[in-house]
Amino acid sequence: MNRTLSILTLASLIGATFVLRNLAADTAAAPLGIPLKPDPPPAIDGDLGEWGNVPNALDLNTKEQVVWGEGKWTSPNDLRAIVWLAWRNEYLFLAADVTDDKFQQTQRGTSLWKGDHIELFIDATPDTDSERKPFGKGQFQFGFSPGNFQHTGDKLLDLPPEAVIFRPTEMKTDGILTAATRTESGYALEAAIPWSLLGVEGALATALGIEVGVSDTDGDESVQESMMTIRTDRWEITRNRLVPAVLSPTTGEAPPIVRGIGVFESIEVKPDEKKQIPFESPKVPAGKVAVFSLKARLAHPKPAGYTPSMRLTLNGTILDAKRLVNKKPTETRVDGAAKNMAAGDLFYIDYSPDFDAPDKSESYALRHGKVCQFDLNITDLLAAKDNVLVIENAIGHGMTKTLHVGEGKLEFRAPVVEEKKRPAPTGSLPMRMPSGAKIGFTVEKRADNDFAITVSPTASKGGMVRFAIDSRFSTPEPKWQKGSNDYFKLERKIEKQAEAVIVRDTFTNLTNENLPLMQRHRVALGAAGKSWDKVWLGGLSSASGTGTVSKPENPSSYGVSGKAGIGVLPLDDVFQVHSTNFSDGDAIGLADHNFVLKPKATHTAEWVVVPTDLSGCAIEDPVGISKGITDEPYFSFVNAARRVRNVNFPVVGPFAFLRSDPRLTGRWSDEQLVNFVTFKSARYLSTSIGYPSYKGHAAHGTAFQAIDHSIRRDHILRLRKLAPDAEHQVYFHCYIDVSDGAEEKYADARVLKSDGTQADYGQPYYRIFFPTEDNSYGPQIRKNVDLILGKEIGADGVYWDEMEYSAYQYHYGEPWDGVSADIDPKTMKISRLKSSVTLITQPWRIALAKEIMAKGSLIANGQPHTRSMASLRFSRFVETGSISNCARAQLYSPIALGDHLTERSELDAYLNMLRALDYGCVYHWYNDMTVIPTHHTLTKYMFPVTPIELHEGYIIGEERILTNRSGVFGWNDGSGHEVHVFDAEGREVDATNISSHARTTTRGGKTATEIRIAEDWSAAIVRKKQR
């Protein structure tokens, strides 16, 4: 089930609630005035005393403003926020006084959304590409954490206030100021964002799109439980949901936003006729250009081509195609044919019954832009008054079609700056071949169970790099210990392998009680004065170089110093599920803050240290794609860790969703279905559970057994005839159940929160359960699989959504998993026992997965959280509402699912394939109704792929190499190379034109292919048997 990062918004105006309610209900209302903050500038210190007189404060205090988890919000005493926005020339300011009856924040960095925090959404360019709804260039999503207000001196426990940028991904927070203070009712937070980060100047009358949100986490588990926003409509991260705002004077009174004027609604021009339209113009605002926008068509019952026929003249000057800002003078149609926008001074106008029909045509629609829309830059021709636009129907002699022109308007827009894409490189290229395991290092045992690793980089000529590893373990005294003590015995075994050090810590509880036993392992640089060049936690590098993350899918900490790097991650199931990765500035490390050892019991925690020699690694990108240190050093660690974890197995695909809904895909022709499967190169097709529904909800859980599956079965049978090579899967989710009475029927299987209430997936009808071999729910939910693979549906396999857990990772009730608890970090005693949903369901899930794999195919959403599950070695993807989620897939099956939030065309999908390659990932298709391709793309040659090495921008697999980078590629052998190159549109370059982009040679018995491609191009090299 898809749950994108839930992120927040604002509320009602203090003293003027009715104004805010108008804003919330109608985006066409007067914009929100963001007042200028006069001297002195606000001190960003968490003290809100200077904000009392700032106008247009916003009060988030009503149930209607709770757009996520409304069932969990009880009153303004539970969550409320008074929010101020202000500006000066250097900063956009945010201040908030938050009422929160139970403050909870244990997370840092991009995980801070799981605790109490504030988010700010900004559209800095609302007038640019205004029809685009998804966030993209010019839109930002900030997160602000107040921290946890602890000052113990323990860097891992003390969380200072911080800011993160969720969108654009991995954008640095340089220059953002953040501060917070604890208050009697909650907390106060201030932040300042430099205008330079937003790419605009802070100036009076600057238009913005704004949304502020406040999030609440009341339970003991780090889960976003509710959020409040300004607007009350359905929550989504889109530009059209933001509140229109404008930088205003100190009074907060919004100045008018001059966007232009309407000139005419509709005009008909007969052949050889001219129509004159006089109009006056407001002054063009500073920094804007004047654009005349109109739509044009030649009346005809259906789309039927086009002819040069419309001449436009403004103030005596003929307007030509060079003035178009929404199209290039020549565009490409969806069928691949080129279309000129004009012939001399006549614009080509399409035959059509309306202005939208050509955009739906399989022949005449354009790949970019709307066919009937003409937007022309007229800034240099515009007069303050007495402007005259002349529209002439100059259709060819003997032709009688009337020219219909509509929606004529003058608009003031930000100038469009066309970004120049990086051309294909010239000169020498980097070698991109498998490097394998090459590392020279020693292990030195030190006192108190500590040890050191010294790496000898081959390129450093004696410049060895030493890393010191130390461990400590908690006792309930409270006190940290280095080894055996009165509470437990510790036996440590250190095993040096070819490219890793395996550490096995065996604990024996010497007491007669459950023993809380937190552990921390720190890796520091062994030489004084040395510092980390770059640090990655869970596969991502923060600008600050510090942070904590808990990502069992990629539970790694990795740091680089000079030509050496070192990483650490857990290996055993319990440690991986409990793991926290951290960097405190001095050291990187790995921790378990949830482990409990039963009385007199013995348990072995297993973890691994992976040193890397970066001598052959491109730390500075040789072709200039990255700036500063690239992610290539991190991929040296990834590839070594993958070999240690033994996860280089065949990854299969392509996978695509294709719903079985008679109202939608059920109306498609055979040709449409065949093209969908063919052009997506889909090997696996999965139907969803949206139709038929169960009492208005998706048929999750045992409700799936109560609906009619004949439509789903017939859908599969039809596709088997049309696309016989595809395999068919059906959606399965083992945690959510919407059936009536499920909470009583499966009472022993309810996932309980720490307050004793049942967990849900944001809505009370999406109740969450856990299946086991012994409880009431396990045997019942597995019947869904019997239906899927049995005669009633007859699928070939199962798509398993959210395989590890759903929403809540821990269950506070019986049965106890025997190893997990909330442990007070100060007293080091057990606060309460809890159970990992992943661990208690694992025997049931592994058994069912093996059964499915024995009968057919299995693909899942989410990476394994345990070594036991990873040992099954089947393909699992990650969702990419944020492309950086690809980092979660790098230590198992590196597959990115398409982004359902932003992909609206096959080009969007192709560009996301390239972005996934930046993280070393391949791609599976997501959207079915909005991404319907018209041609093959890179996925045609993408699968199967058995990874040898993942890299930033390319993958070397046993069967193929996939790349969005230039370089010299091969396998260091004499294998044949079948090369396919794709252009920036995602279309394969004809074989007759490939020589300028790819050249294959064989020297000394080794074959290599030189790839030279521009930005947004890609290539696949398919490996053929060695000659």
**In this structure, how many other beta carbons lie within 10 angstroms of the beta carbon of residue 589?**
24
Q: What is the arithmetic mean of pLDDT over 338-359?
A: 94
26: in domain: yes
Q: Which carries the bigger pLDDT value, residue 482 or residue 902? A: 482
CATH number of the domain where residue 352 is located: 2.60.120.260
Cα 404 from Cα 155, distance rounded (Å) = 69
| pLDDT of 621 | 46
Which of 297, 400, 271, 311 has the alpha carbon at shortest distance from 358?
Answer: 297
Cα 326 from Cα 375, distance rounded (Å) = 6
Contact between 189 and 146 under an 8 Å Cβ cutoff? The reply is yes
| pLDDT of 490 | 98
Same domain, 377 and 519: no
Cα 15 from Cα 4, distance rounded (Å) = 34
* Lowest-pLDDT choice from 486-490, 591-595, 626-630: 626-630
596: in domain: yes
CA distances from 119 to 110, 113, 116, 134, 230 (A): 12, 9, 10, 17, 12
Which of 944, 948, 886, 897 has the alpha carbon at shortest distance from 920?
Answer: 886
Same domain, 26 and 53: yes
Same domain, 353 and 460: no
Q: Which carries the bigger pLDDT value, residue 357 or residue 72? A: 357
Q: Which of 190, 216, 248 is the last residue of a domain?
A: 248
Q: Which helix (H) or strand (E) holds 351?
A: strand 346-352
224: in domain: yes
Same domain, 91 and 129: yes
Which amino acid is located at 190 in the chain?
E
Instruction: Give the per-residue SS3 of 159-192.
Output: CCCEEEEEECCCCCCCCCEEEEEECCCEEEEEEE
**In this structure, how many other beta carbons lie within 10 angstroms of the beta carbon of residue 754?**
17
- The b-or-e profile of 539-569 (16+ CB within 10 A means b, else e) is bbbbebbbbbbbbbbbbbbbbbbbbbbbbbb
Same domain, 373 and 343: yes
Q: Please tell me the total count of domains within the chain.
A: 3
Q: What is the arithmetic mean of pLDDT over 539-545?
A: 84
pLDDT in tens, 919-969: 999 999 999 999 999 999 999 999 999 999 999 999 999 999 999 999 999
| pLDDT of 461 | 64
Same domain, 302 and 445: no
Bridge-based pairing of strands 306-314 and 431-432 is unpaired
Contact between 49 and 79 under an 8 Å Cβ cutoff? The reply is no
Alpha carbon of residue 267 to chain centroid: 45
- The single residue listed with the structure tokens 């052949």 is 271
Phi, psi for 114 (deg, rounded to 5): -80, -5
* Lowest-pLDDT choice from 314-318, 530-534, 624-628, 709-713: 624-628
Bridge-based pairing of strands 306-314 and 387-393 is antiparallel
Same domain, 267 and 217: no
Residue 572 — very low, low, confident or very high, per pLDDT cuts 50/70/90? very high
719: in domain: no
| pLDDT of 438 | 78
Sign, CA torsion 578/583/584/589: positive
CATH number of the domain where residue 134 is located: 2.60.40.1190
CA distances from 659 to 8, 39, 99, 717 (A): 31, 59, 44, 14
Is the pLDDT assigned to residue 411 strictly greater than 60? yes
Tokens of 391: 């529209």
Cα 263 from Cα 281, distance rounded (Å) = 10
Same domain, 244 and 264: no
Portion of the chain with pLDDT greater than 90, in percent: 82
Question: At what angle are helices 670-679 and 710-722 packed, to 10 degrees?
Answer: 70
Contact between 18 and 64 under an 8 Å Cβ cutoff? The reply is no
pLDDT in tens, 139-167: 999 999 999 999 988 888 899 999 999 99
Is the pLDDT assigned to residue 531 strictly greater than 70? yes
| pLDDT of 257 | 79
Q: Which of 248, 269, 304 is the last residue of a domain?
A: 248
First-residue to last-residue Cα distance in the chain: 47
Mean pLDDT computed over every residue of the chain: 92
Same domain, 278 and 369: yes
pLDDT in tens, 791-848: 999 999 999 999 999 999 999 999 999 999 999 999 999 999 999 999 999 999 999 9
Dihedral, CA atoms, 301, 305, 307, 309, nearest 10 degrees?
40
CATH number of the domain where residue 582 is located: 2.70.98.90
Is the pLDDT assigned to residue 22 strictly greater than 60? no
Tokens of 964: 């969005």
Cα 35 from Cα 249, distance rounded (Å) = 5
Which of 635, 663, 647 has the alpha carbon at shortest distance from 553?
Answer: 647
Q: What is the arithmetic mean of pLDDT over 338-348?
A: 93
Is the pLDDT assigned to residue 20 strictly greater than 70? no
18: in domain: yes
| pLDDT of 598 | 99
Is the pLDDT assigned to residue 513 strictly greater than 70? yes
| pLDDT of 491 | 98
Is the pLDDT assigned to residue 625 strictly greater than 50? no
> How many alpha carbons lie under 13 Å from residue 179 in its C-beta half-sphere?
12
Q: Which of 575, 600, 615 is the last residue of a domain?
A: 615
Contact between 510 and 517 under an 8 Å Cβ cutoff? The reply is no
| pLDDT of 544 | 78
Domain that includes residue 537, residue range: 436-615
Which of 372, 379, 383 has the alpha carbon at shortest distance from 310?
Answer: 372
Q: What is the arithmetic mean of pLDDT over 596-612?
A: 99
Q: What is the arithmetic mean of pLDDT over 878-884?
A: 90
Residue 7 — very low, low, confident or very high, per pLDDT cuts 50/70/90? very low
352: in domain: yes
| pLDDT of 902 | 84
Is the pLDDT assigned to residue 998 strictly greater than 80? yes
Residue 462 — very low, low, confident or very high, per pLDDT cuts 50/70/90? low
| pLDDT of 619 | 55
pTM of the model: 0.85
Same domain, 99 and 216: yes
781: in domain: no
Phi, psi for 747 (deg, rounded to 5): -60, -35
Alpha carbon of residue 789 to chain centroid: 32
Contact between 48 and 97 under an 8 Å Cβ cutoff? The reply is yes
Is the pLDDT assigned to residue 622 strictly greater than 50? no
| pLDDT of 23 | 42
231: in domain: yes
**In this structure, how many other beta carbons lie within 10 angstroms of the beta carbon of residue 315?**
13
Query: Which DSSP string corresponds to 47-107?
Result: --GGGTT-SS-EEE--GGGEEE-GGG---TTTEEEEEEEEE-SSEEEEEEEEEESS-----
Is the pLDDT assigned to residue 604 strictly greater than 90? yes
Tokens of 338: 């080129």
Same domain, 326 and 208: no
Residue 14 — very low, low, confident or very high, per pLDDT cuts 50/70/90? very low
Same domain, 513 and 595: yes
